[in-house]
A and B are shown apart, each in its own frame.
Chain A
Amino acid sequence: MGAEYTKKELLITVVARLLQGCGHIACGASSPIPGAAALLTRARSNGRTRVTVLGSEKNNFFTNGGVELFDIAGEGRLDAFFLGGGQIDGFANINLVGTGGTYPNNDVRWPGSFGSAYLYFVVPKVILFREEHTRRVFVPKVDFVSAPGVSEPGVYRPGGPKHLVTNLALFDFDPKRIRFTLVSVHPGHTVEEVLDNTGFDFDRPAMVPVTPAPDAQTLAELRGSIRPEIAETYPRFAETAFAA
Chain B
Amino acid sequence: MALTTPMKKISIILERVLKDDIIDLIKKNGAKGWTLTEVNGEGSRGMRASEFEGRNFQIDTIVNAECADRILQQLSASYFSHWSLVVYLSDIQILRAEKYQ
Asked if A and B are interacting partners, one says: no
